């Protein structure tokens, strides 16, 4: 059905109402089936809540329900407006501005603001102006009192942003109670401005996650002076910290983060992702890991891995998962991790993941050699004294044309424990790559007893129109 509620949605609602009706009437005498005395056009709350629970992951069906039945409108709004995407149009664009449209919607229905808990913001400022207080975003954010997860991307920015400018954009003097901040692209004037942003959000009292995917710092030489004097009372106990390799001047940020001037605390840190590290930033990382040694559960090394011998893995009593990313598969890297796992048998890891991004298109390139002897040795070290573990390699392929985008596929290597007799379990995986204007899919089999991949089939299909290899 192109219009109205889909058949599956109708069936779900019918089953829920039928179940509710049966519960209401099962104690009555047979033949006395009639509507309860207090029945009305509005369905009972327990029925609405059950419908919502069944359709929570299907926003399209929720929208259709909201349009079809007035009684479902308030229930659907709670989910539909839980996450919003606020995008500003690019300069000279004739499209409808989604951010201005959402601002008008809040003016007409201000009650919708209380449902918003997560917001993704996309701005395209070519330069920062002085009238940011009149920007639609600065009028929207102060109304979102339930906002907890904030992600923003400031693209096409020529001039770096200061703390005052971001402070104005996010509502001025009010302090948002943000739990998670994620930046996909942020160009700040100085390290002091970035520190003041963290301090300001920490004053809300709920900040637990910082994810800096891409941050550029214009001036890293100026001393960091946030101007706040209540840091000890508003320190943020981070649970998750992500510092991508695209965070330039990572040394400056880590140096501030571990200093006494920082509002960040790492005693309860559970997840840590770090990017390309210099020798200096590796020292700062070791201090963070030492502080979080009793709480850290997951460590991810993005691209360059620091000296593993300097990390006290034996002190990480709560560590359950390790992952690292590489662009070019290196046998020496696998062997280094093999030695670490063999030396620290006290680690109680649940998973060890290797993420490989390769710019080669063919599945028979040199990385496949890692699945033989090096991987066998890593598996043997990983499976010592374990009952249920997950060891996998995730491979990401990209076609030759940048505008096509990355084709990413995950290939879990499913293993049975070493102390259990292995069955000849065949795990089939697909590798998709582009060649000669054709999308080819190779079917591979992995047999845990043989530790090798075997190409069993190959299929190809025409490349989608408008895309070339």
Say which range, 103-117, 230-244, 348-362, 408-422, has the weakest mean pLDDT. Answer: 408-422
pLDDT digits (tens, 9 = 90+) for 342-351: 888 778 888 8
CB distance 393 to 411 below 8 Å:
yes
Query: What is the greatest pairwise CA distance in the chain?
Result: 84
Residue 362 confidence (pLDDT) above 70: no
Residue 245 confidence (pLDDT) above 70: no
**Count of residues making up the chain:** 469
CB distance 239 to 271 below 8 Å:
yes
419 or 279, which is more confident: 279
> Phi, psi at residue 138, to the nearest 5°?
-70, -15
- Give the whole-angstrom CA distance, residue 236 versus residue 177: 12
pLDDT digits (tens, 9 = 90+) for 35-91: 344 433 456 666 667 766 677 667 677 777 777 667 777 777 888 888 888 888 766
Say which range, 3-17, 326-340, 445-459, has the weakest mean pLDDT. Answer: 445-459
DSSP assignment of 253-313 equals HHHHHTSTT--EE-TT--EEEE-S--HHHHHHHHHHHHHTTTT--EEEE-SS---GGGS-G
What pLDDT is stored for residue 348 in this prediction?
Answer: 81
Average pLDDT, the chain: 69
- Give the whole-angstrom CA distance, residue 215 versus residue 246: 7
What pLDDT is stored for residue 332 in this prediction?
Answer: 76
Residue 405 confidence (pLDDT) above 60: no
SS3 163: helix
pLDDT digits (tens, 9 = 90+) for 169-202: 887 766 678 899 988 778 888 888 888 888 888 8
Identify how many contiguous H helices and E strands the chain contains and give both numbers: 12, 18
420 or 382, which is more confident: 382
Instruction: Tell me whether residue 420 is exposed, middle or buried, using C-beta atoms within 10 angstroms of its C-beta: 0 to 12, 13 to 18, 19 or more.
Output: exposed
* Average pLDDT rounded to a whole number, residues 380-397: 63
CB distance 221 to 252 below 8 Å:
no
Instruction: Give percent of the chain with pLDDT exceeding 70.
Output: 54
DSSP 142: G
pLDDT digits (tens, 9 = 90+) for 221-241: 666 665 544 444 578 899 999
Per the listing, tokens 């889909």 go with 6
- Give the whole-angstrom CA distance, residue 56 versus residue 62: 8
What pLDDT is stored for residue 30 in this prediction?
Answer: 40
> Phi, psi at residue 83, to the nearest 5°?
-125, 130
CB distance 177 to 206 below 8 Å:
yes
User: Who contacts 6 (Cβ-Cβ below 8 Å, separation ≥6)?
Assistant: 60, 61, 64
Report how far Cα 375 is from the mean position of its chain's Cα atoms.
Answer: 28
């Amino acid at each position: 059905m192109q219009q109205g509620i889909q058949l599956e949605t109708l069936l779900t609602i019918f089953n829920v109402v039928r179940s509710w009706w049966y519960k209401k009437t099962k104690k009555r005498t047979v033949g006395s089936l009639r509507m309860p005395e207090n029945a009305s056009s509005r369905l009972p709350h327990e029925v609405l809540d059950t419908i919502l629970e069944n359709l929570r992951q299907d926003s399209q069906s929720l929208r259709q329900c909201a349009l079809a039945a007035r009684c479902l409108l308030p229930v659907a709004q709670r989910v539909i407006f839980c996450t919003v995407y606020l995008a500003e149009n690019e300069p000279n664009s004739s499209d409808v501005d989604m951010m201005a449209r959402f601002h008008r919607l809040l003016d007409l229905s201000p009650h919708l603001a209380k449902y918003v808990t997560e917001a993704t913001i996309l701005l395209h400022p070519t330069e920062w102006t002085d009238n940011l207080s009149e920007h639609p975003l600065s009028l929207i954010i102060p109304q979102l009192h339930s906002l907890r997860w904030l992600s923003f991307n400031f693209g096409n920015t020529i001039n770096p942003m200061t703390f005052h400018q971001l402070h104005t954009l996010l509502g001025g003097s009010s302090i948002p109670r943000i739990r998670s901040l994620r930046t996909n692209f942020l160009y700040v004037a100085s390290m002091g401005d970035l520190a003041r942003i963290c301090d300001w959000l920490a004053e809300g009292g709920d900040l637990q996650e910082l994810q800096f995917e891409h941050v550029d710092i214009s001036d890293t030489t100026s001393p960091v002076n946030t101007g706040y004097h209540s840091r000890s009372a508003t320190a943020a106990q981070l649970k998750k910290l992500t510092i991508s390799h695209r965070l330039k001047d990572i040394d400056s940020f880590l140096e501030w983060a571990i200093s006494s001037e920082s509002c960040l605390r790492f005693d309860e840190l559970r997840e840590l992702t770090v990017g390309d590290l210099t020798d200096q930033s590796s020292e700062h990382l070791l201090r963070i890991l030492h502080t979080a040694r009793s709480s850290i559960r997951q460590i991810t090394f993005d691209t360059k891995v620091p000296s593993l011998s300097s990390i006290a893995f034996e002190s990480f009593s709560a560590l359950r998962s390790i992952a690292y990313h590489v662009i070019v598969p290196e046998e020496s890297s696998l062997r280094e991790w093999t030695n670490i796992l063999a030396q620290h048998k006290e680690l109680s890891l649940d998973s060890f993941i290797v993420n490989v991004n390769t710019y080669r298109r063919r599945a028979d390139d040199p990385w496949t050699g890692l699945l033989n002897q090096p991987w066998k040795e890593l598996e043997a070290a990983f499976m010592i004294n374990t009952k249920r573990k997950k060891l996998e390699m995730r491979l990401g392929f990209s076609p030759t044309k940048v505008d096509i985008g990355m084709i990413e596929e995950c290939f879990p290597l499913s293993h049975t424990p070493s102390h259990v007799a292995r069955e000849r379990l065949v795990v089939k995986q697909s590798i998709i790559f582009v060649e000669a204007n054709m999308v080819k899919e190779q079917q591979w089999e992995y047999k845990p007893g043989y530790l090798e991949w075997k190409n069993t089939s190959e299929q190809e299909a025409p490349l989608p129109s408008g895309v070339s290899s």
